[in-house]
Amino acid sequence: MKRYSAFAIAREAFRQHSGWQRAWASPEPRNHYDIVIVGAGGHGLATAYYLGKRFGLTNVAVIEKGWLGGGNTGRNTTIIRSNYLQDPSAALYEKSRALFETLSQDLNYNIMFSPRGVMMLAQTEHEKRGYLRTERANALQGVDTRFIQPSEVKRLVPIINIHGPRYPVLGALWQERAGTARHDAVAWGLARACSAMGMHVIEQCAVTGVESANGAVSAVNTTKGRITCGKLGIVVAGHSGALADMAGFRLPIESVALQALVSEPIKPCMDVVVMANTVHGYLSQSDKGEMVIGGGADGFNNYTQRGSWQHVEETVRALVETFPMISRLKMLRQWGGIVDMTGDRSPILSKTPLDNCFINCGWGTGGFKATPGSGWAMAELMARGHSPLTDAFSLNRFREGRFIDESVAAGVAH
């Protein structure tokens, strides 16, 4: 793999860019791999990357039924933060946020990480008390957040209306080192690094069945043939229940669509991310000038990846009081992603009833921000059989009543 650099760009400019290599190979699957990971989104690729980087395990295949990063990795709003309430959540998300800071250098690929800061508006007294509680919990967890007053909110976001007639801004929970990253670039950079280590990233390869022998996984059947494996990782977001059913167990999750939209590009007017949970919406501005707008998940189970006019109306109506300027913008595009929700709004990173089969799912609406941290933890779990970052997120917690309730800290859709 050739290293990307300013010198490489200059050299290729003189060669009409004829010397660039493919970012990742497109091989045919072998008959056997030590590890097969189903799902070539951010979490699946990050798991493979850290299996190779940390444990030297490179006889790995990452298989994807569609195109790489075509699921939730390419259908989110790019927000990265770690100000969660519960200790296990804060540890996992803070690990991920810290990994994001150096991921471009680690991958030799610009993921466009932007630590612009994320604020969560307090627009009711109840919400304000909740954020003050989170601020103190984060202080104990080593997560750098603070509660700021309305005047500072207005200074950081001049376009905001803090005197709304229904929901005035009473302050905000502010995480200065949070931000955004380019979601597609994260997937592409991870795929390139995995391919350089000799792993196989296999697209257009759907799983049709999971085989077992003596209580342990033995093979996966795909549209490109049967592949035997020593270990299997299932990392397929909203389709986790379908894959688990093939493997012979059930998951305590439900799948729903999460929608978002972007406006036409406008001049820079906002350089932070704002989440308004009371009115159910959030807003940021992309590098291209588009206003990225999102709200809550659909209220019914579905597998659609399309948008709906109802969502546009509800979300924009919710935000227009706090951000009056969006009433004058035209919508550029809209999309949906399939998210898998657990009852406590926390993920599942766990062994399964089928030996040597591992599951990564249940991220709900906040999976992108956990991409490198999830991969780090999942790789450790698959390689060693244990990871301190995953202990609290096992499937057994639902049987034992050890819930990790993040229904509040998860915010409007994150």
Question: Please, what is the Cα angle at 356 between 354 and 362, to 5 degrees?
Answer: 70
> What is the DSSP-derived secondary structure letter of residue 122?
E
Domain boundary among 339, 363, 392: 339
Measure the CA–CA gap between 280 and 263, rounded to whole angstroms.
Answer: 18
- State whether 242 and 354 are in the same domain: yes
| pLDDT tens for the chain, residues 1 to 414 | 788 999 999 998 999 888 898 999 999 999 999 999 999 999 999 999 999 999 999 999 999 999 999 989 999 999 999 999 999 999 999 999 999 999 999 999 999 999 999 999 999 999 999 999 999 999 999 999 999 999 999 999 999 999 988 899 999 999 999 999 999 999 999 999 999 999 999 999 999 999 999 999 999 999 999 999 999 999 999 999 999 999 999 999 999 988 999 999 999 999 999 999 888 889 999 999 999 998 888 888 888 887 787 878 888 888 999 999 999 999 999 988 899 999 898 999 999 999 999 999 999 888 999 999 999 999 999 999 999 999 999 999 999 999 998 876 665 544
Name the domain count of the chain: 2
Please check whether residue 295 lies inside any domain of the structure.
Answer: yes
Q: What is the residue whose two structure tokens read 């003189």? A: 14
CATH number of residue 27's parent domain: 3.50.50.60
CATH number of residue 123's parent domain: 3.30.9.10
What is the predicted pLDDT for the residue at 305? 81
What is the predicted pLDDT for the residue at 166? 87
What is the predicted pLDDT for the residue at 409? 62
Question: Please, what is the Cα angle at 36 between 34 and 41, to 5 degrees?
Answer: 145
Please check whether residue 413 lies inside any domain of the structure.
Answer: no
- Sequential DSSP letters for 340-388: EEETTS--EEEE-SSBTEEEEE--TT--GGGHHHHHHHHHHHHHHS--T
What is the predicted pLDDT for the residue at 408? 62
Dihedral over alpha carbons 50, 53, 59, 64 (to 10 degrees): 40
Q: Residue 181 phi/psi, 5° resolution?
A: -145, 160
**85-110 burial, b for 16+ CB within 10 Å, e for fewer?**
bbebbbbbbbbbbebbbebbebbebe
Instruction: Determine the residue type at 78.
Output: T
Regarding pTM above 0.75, the answer is yes
168: containing domain: 118-178+255-339
- State whether 95 and 226 are in the same domain: yes
Please, which residues have CB within 8 angstroms of residue 94's CB and are 6 or more apart in sequence?
Answer: 82, 141, 142, 143, 373
Measure the CA–CA gap between 157 and 235, rounded to whole angstroms.
Answer: 37
Determine which helix (DSSP H) or strand (DSSP E) holds 234, and give its type and residue range: strand 225-234
